Amino acid sequence: MKRPYIVCHMVASIDGRIDCSMVDKISGDEYYETLEKLDCPTQLEGRATMEHYSALKEPFVANDPTPFGMSSVHKSVDSDEYIVTVDTNGKLKWPASEIDGVPLVCIVSEQVSQEYLEMLRNQGISYICVGTKAIDLHKAMEILYEEFGVKRMAVLGGGHINGGFLAAGLIDEVSLLLAPGIDGRRGQTALFDGIEDMNRMPVKLSLESVERIGNGTLWIRYKINN
Domain map (residue ranges) of the chain? 5-224
Overall average pLDDT of the 198-216 stretch:
94
Question: pLDDT at position 153, please?
Answer: 98
Amino acid at the residue 193? D
Q: Decide if 22 contacts 189 (C-beta within 8 A).
A: no
- In this prediction, residue 4 has a pLDDT band, given cuts at 50, 70 and 90, of very high
Rounded Cα–Cα distance for residues 12 and 2 (Å):
31
Q: What's the CA gap between 42 and 81, in Å, rounded?
A: 5
Is the pLDDT at 180 greater than 90? The verdict is yes
Closest CA to 69 of 116, 125, 104: 116
**What's the pLDDT band for 49 if we cut at 50, 70, 90?**
confident
Longest CA span, the chain:
52
Q: How much is the pTM?
A: 0.93
pLDDT, one tens digit per residue, over 95-148 is 999 999 999 999 999 999 999 999 999 999 999 999 999 999 999 999 999 999
Q: How much of the chain exceeds pLDDT 70, in percent?
A: 100
The answer on pLDDT for 28 being more than 80 is yes
Q: In terms of DSSP bridges, do strands 217-224 and 83-86 run parallel, antiparallel, or are they unpaired?
A: unpaired
- Determine whether domain 5-224 maps to CATH 3.40.430.10: yes
pLDDT confidence of 158, banded at 50, 70, 90?
confident
Which pLDDT does position 48 carry in this prediction?
Answer: 84
Under the banding of pLDDT at 50, 70 and 90, the label for residue 22 is: very high
Name the DSSP class of 64.
S
- pLDDT computed for residue 103 by the predictor: 98
74-85 residue pLDDT tens? 999 999 999 999
**Cα(70)–Cα(110) distance, integer angstroms:** 6
Dihedral over alpha carbons 169, 91, 85, 23 (to 10 degrees): -90
Answer for the pair 74, 127: CB distance below 8 angstroms, yes or no.
yes
Q: Is residue 191 very low, low, confident or very high in pLDDT (cuts 50, 70, 90)?
A: very high
